[in-house]
């Protein structure tokens, strides 16, 4: 979403409830989730090693070969940083996110009808929305422990990474990690669907933004670890939430690249469920579909 679109949604305003309820407890039940996917969800904290190698940065298939970039070996979180992990950071440091300081954040709201394709129709600046209350602060709107933290601006993600002893991955590191052992071109759908067409990532099935089938068992965020790990042992590199990287967008000093697509990516919109894709995101803009994970120089 561009700055103009955000300005539009800021003008629209939100329907959220101002103020913040205490975090305690981070909700741990998953009752609101429709069903777990076959095999269930397994949250395994910790880091996985990404061996040194080259990645074809920006590889879009045979017609658009990428730029080969060498990446040294590094470690990276097995899954997106969860609310449980972010809560531990906040408890230890007293950190207050940008969305909390500003009193709201951008939330995706599924529209009932559309006029044109203006993203302002499905993004709202919702007062009270923050990582603690992803939809805007209603009493039952508490962050779920095993879901990825969202409504984090770049500085929030970077602060967590420093606390955790790491950094946000570069675009090349992230892309190398996401590709796993797949070093050749693949169709975009091969990253989010298996050979039978069944979902292997949390994306949007249906016509975005008006309808979705939830074929992947989720119509919004999923707990981390519900979809298969890639060859490096990493989950949800594709889908669930976009992930901040430390790489700047060309000629845009106030933006950083986000990678991997989110639960809002469909074939008719975004379609960025592939390692090569990226979007430039304003550093001071947290939303309900952008999170992050941390890269490290050491195993622990």
Binding site for Ca ion (CB under 5 A): 236, 240, 260
Q: How far is the CB of 178 from Ca ion (least distance, A)?
A: 9
User: Which residues 6+ apart lie within 8 Å of 297 measured at CB?
Assistant: 74, 75, 166
Q: How far is the CB of 293 from Ca ion (least distance, A)?
A: 8
In 3D, which of 269, 225, 211 has the Cα closest to residue 36?
225
Here the tokens at position 110 are: 């599924």
Q: How far is the CB of 162 from Ca ion (least distance, A)?
A: 21
> Residue 120 and residue 117: Cα distance in Å, rounded?
9
> Residue 276 and residue 260: Cα distance in Å, rounded?
8
- Quick one: 132 or 235, whose CB is closer to Ca ion? 235
- Residues pairing with 257 in the sheet: 280
167 — alpha (psi -120 to 50), left (phi > 0) or beta? beta
By DSSP bridging, strand 242-249 and strand 290-291 are: parallel
Q: How far is the CB of 79 from Ca ion (least distance, A)?
A: 9
Q: How far is the CB of 260 from Ca ion (least distance, A)?
A: 4
For the chain, the distance separating the N- and C-terminal CA atoms, rounded to the nearest angstrom, is 36
- Quick one: 56 or 236, whose CB is closer to Ca ion? 236
Q: How far is the CB of 151 from Ca ion (least distance, A)?
A: 15
- Quick one: 146 or 236, whose CB is closer to Ca ion? 236
H/E element, 5: helix 3-12
- Quick one: 90 or 178, whose CB is closer to Ca ion? 178
- Quick one: 175 or 236, whose CB is closer to Ca ion? 236
- Quick one: 1 or 81, whose CB is closer to Ca ion? 81
Q: How far is the CB of 265 from Ca ion (least distance, A)?
A: 10
> Residue 82 and residue 285: Cα distance in Å, rounded?
19
Cβ atoms of 179 and 240 closer than 8 Å: no
Residue nearest to Ca ion (CB): 260
47-50 sheet: strands from edge to edge: 47-50, 74-77, 295-296
- Quick one: 130 or 240, whose CB is closer to Ca ion? 240
């Amino acid at each position: 979403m561009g700055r103009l679109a955000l300005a539009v949604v800021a003008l629209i305003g939100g329907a959220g409830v101002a103020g913040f309820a205490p975090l305690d407890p981070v909700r741990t039940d998953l009752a609101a989730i429709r069903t777990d996917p076959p095999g269930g969800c397994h949250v395994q904290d910790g880091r996985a090693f990404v061996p040194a190698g080259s990645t074809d940065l920006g590889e879009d298939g045979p017609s658009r070969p990428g730029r080969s970039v060498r990446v040294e070996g590094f470690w990276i979180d097995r899954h997106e940083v969860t609310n449980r992990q972010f809560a531990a950071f906040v408890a230890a440091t007293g950190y207050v996110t940008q969305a909390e300081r500003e009193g709201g954040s951008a939330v995706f709201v599924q529209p009932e009808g559309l006029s044109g394709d203006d993203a302002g129709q499905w993004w709202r600046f919702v007062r009270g929305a923050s990582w603690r209350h992803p939809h805007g602060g209603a009493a039952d709107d508490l962050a779920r422990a095993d879901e990825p933290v969202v409504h984090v601006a770049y500085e929030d993600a970077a602060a967590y990474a420093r606390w955790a002893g790491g950094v946000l991955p570069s675009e090349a590191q992230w892309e190398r990690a996401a590709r796993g052992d797949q070093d050749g071109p693949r169709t975009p759908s091969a990253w989010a669907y298996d050979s039978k067409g069944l979902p292997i990532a949390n994306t949007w099935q249906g016509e975005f933004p008006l309808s979705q089938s939830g074929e992947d068992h989720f119509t919004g965020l999923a707990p981390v670890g519900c979809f298969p790990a890639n060859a490096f042992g990493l989950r949800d590199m594709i889908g669930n939430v976009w992930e901040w990287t430390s790489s700047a967008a060309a000629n845009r000093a106030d933006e950083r690249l986000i990678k991997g697509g989110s639960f809002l990516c469909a074939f008719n919109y975004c379609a960025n469920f592939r390692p090569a894709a990226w979007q430039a995101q304003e550093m001071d803009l947290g939303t309900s579909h952008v999170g992050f994970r941390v890269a490290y120089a050491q195993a622990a």
